[in-house]
Amino acid sequence: MDCFTRVLKKSDLILTKADAAQAKRALATKGKTCLVVVDEGGVFQCVLTKGDLKRHNVASGSIEQVYNRSPKHIVSASEEEILTQARNIFETYSSINKIPVLDAERRPISFVFTRRNNTMRNNTIDRNYDTWNDTYEWVADGDEWSVAWGSQKAQWYGALYPRIAPWLPAESVLEIAPGHGRWTEFLIPLSSKKYRGVDLLPNCADFCKRRFSEAKHASFFTNNGLTLPMIEDRSCDFVFSFDSLVHVELDVLKSYVHEVLRVLKDDGIAFIHHSNAGEYLDLYDENIPGWRAPTVTASLVKKFIEQEGGYVWLQEKINWIVDECVDCLTLFGREECYEPYFVDNELFMLEAMLTKTRINKYWSAARKF
């Protein structure tokens, strides 16, 4: 049985003095099946579910008359112990699919949950190959995914380049999954000695070879979607991947983390865009927005980086299409960062809108000359 965890949000909590009407409104939110009831000091009291309100047919009045006074919960321990306890509860009680986790002072800090009757299709390597190499038509060579920013150039200069400019230009740049060269167009001129692009898809690698044939210091390769055997140890100053690895599952991310840290120079840095959809599996069924990988979370990627001896410099969780931060930008390297930065940026798509209505106007004007 698969179990997942996510940090508790304010919207998951309700005070004991709240009334049923307030609880009903809160439970009407998409994907929300229960609320954690706390006292004014934030101490856990009980769990309130949609079923509690329905069984008691309560439309108003205190929620104290309906909530479950002896709910299942787990006291915070190691991740392995929490998941073990959760599996035992889920297997014993078929009606339970979400359990609050409490700290030592009995304050709720997270949920652990399972997905019964899971119909979600994971984004396997074979599925990605079939979709992007054999099925997808690449109608604008990937630039179609920059529409929210107005154009591919506006997205690069308005959203991406400002985030990675401190590490560019670089002598040796590696791009993982370049597709049809949407960002390669900018990375090749910023690679002073060597650019290499590695893609699972032969169609993409062949397209890039033709598109950038005049760039003599650029090379393109295909791989197995997991490893980088054509890249030498400690040979890259900068590793980049954006809007591709969001579609790969945890096993692929784990393998790439190992490979990226192998090929990075001691002072090299990697900027990887990946899924964080695993934090929101209790909100979505099989339709994860943007075909994001459901097994990946920012915290798991951070864990793998640290297990491989690397250091996370920055993790920026970003929203994409939806309000939730279903994606993450992770900056990491072999050297330790003494002030790592972690942020939930729920305004990323607002950045896109502002880029489209402001910065893109300059690029639109430039195209007229």
Candidates 3.90.230.10, 3.10.580.10, 3.40.50.1980, 3.40.50.2000; correct CATH number of 3-114?
A: 3.10.580.10
Least confident window among 97-106, 198-207, 303-312, 327-336: 97-106
Would you tell me how many other CB atoms lie within 10 Å of the CB of residue 75? 12
**Statement: residue 231 has pLDDT above 70:** yes
Q: pLDDT at residue 17 above 90?
A: no
Query: Regarding predicted confidence, which is higher, 313 or 366?
Result: 313
Structure confidence at residue 69 as a pLDDT band (50, 70, 90)? low
- Residue 30, pLDDT above cutoff 80: no
Q: Which among 274, 356, 259 is positioned nearest to 318, based on CA atoms?
A: 274
The Cα 208–Cα 221 span in angstroms is 10
- State the Cα–Cα distance between residues 276 and 297, nearest whole angstrom: 4
Q: Is 290 exposed, middle or buried (0-12, 13-18, 19+ CB in 10 A)?
A: middle
pLDDT tens per residue across span 182-216: 999 999 999 999 999 999 999 999 999 999 999 99
The DSSP string of 288-320 is -GGG--TT--HHHHHHHHHHTT-EEEEEEEE--
Q: Which residues of the chain does CATH 3.10.580.10 include?
A: 3-114
* Whole-angstrom distance, CA of residue 181 vs CA of residue 188: 10
Residue type, 205: A
Query: What type of residue is 281?
Result: L
Q: Is the pLDDT of residue 58 over 60?
A: no
Residue 116 has pLDDT above 80, yes or no: no
Which strands make up the sheet holding 108-114, listed edge to edge?
A: 3-7, 108-114, 98-102, 74-75
Q: What is the pLDDT of residue 258?
A: 97
Where residue 111 falls among pLDDT bands split at 50, 70, 90? confident
User: Between 254 and 35, whose confidence is greater?
Assistant: 254
Instruction: Give the model's pLDDT for residue 10.
Output: 82
% of residues, the chain, pLDDT over 90: 52
Partnered with residue 173 across adjacent β-strands are 195, 238
Residue 15 has pLDDT above 80, yes or no: yes
The pTM score is: 0.75
Residue range(s) occupied by CATH 3.40.50.150 in the chain:
125-366
Strand partners, 311: 333
Note the pLDDT of residue 344.
Answer: 94
Average model confidence (pLDDT) across the chain: 87
C-alpha distances out from residue 150 to 88, 156, 163, 352, 362, Å: 50, 11, 19, 8, 11
pLDDT digits (tens, 9 = 90+) for 139-191: 899 899 999 999 999 999 999 999 999 999 999 999 999 999 999 999 999 99
Burial 33-65 (b: 16+ CB within 10 A, else e): ebbbbbeeeeebbbbbbeebbeeeebeeeebbe
What is the helix (H) or strand (E) element at residue 139, kind and residue range?
none
Residue pLDDT, tens place only, 243-276:
999 999 999 999 999 999 999 999 999 999 999 9
Task: Reply yes or no on whether the pLDDT at 113 is more than 90.
Answer: no
Question: How large a percentage of the chain has pLDDT more than 70?
Answer: 89
Q: How far is CA 50 from CA 4, 20, 142, in A?
A: 21, 11, 43
How far is it, in rounded angstroms, from Cα 240 to Cα 197?
10
Cα distance between residue 263 and residue 254, in whole Å? 15
pLDDT given for residue 286 in this prediction: 52
> Where is average pLDDT lowest: 50-54, 210-214, 283-287, 308-312?
283-287
Q: How confident is the model at residue 21 (pLDDT cuts 50, 70, 90)?
A: confident
Dihedral sign, Cα of residue 289, residue 291, residue 294, residue 297? negative
CA angle 297/202/216 to nearest 5° reads 100
325-330 average pLDDT score = 96
Cα–Cα distance measured from residue 335 to residue 199, given in angstroms and rounded to the nearest whole number: 27
Least confident of 1-15, 47-61, 151-165, 183-197: 47-61
The reported pLDDT for the residue numbered 365 is: 82
Task: Kindly report the CATH class assigned to 125-366.
Answer: alpha beta
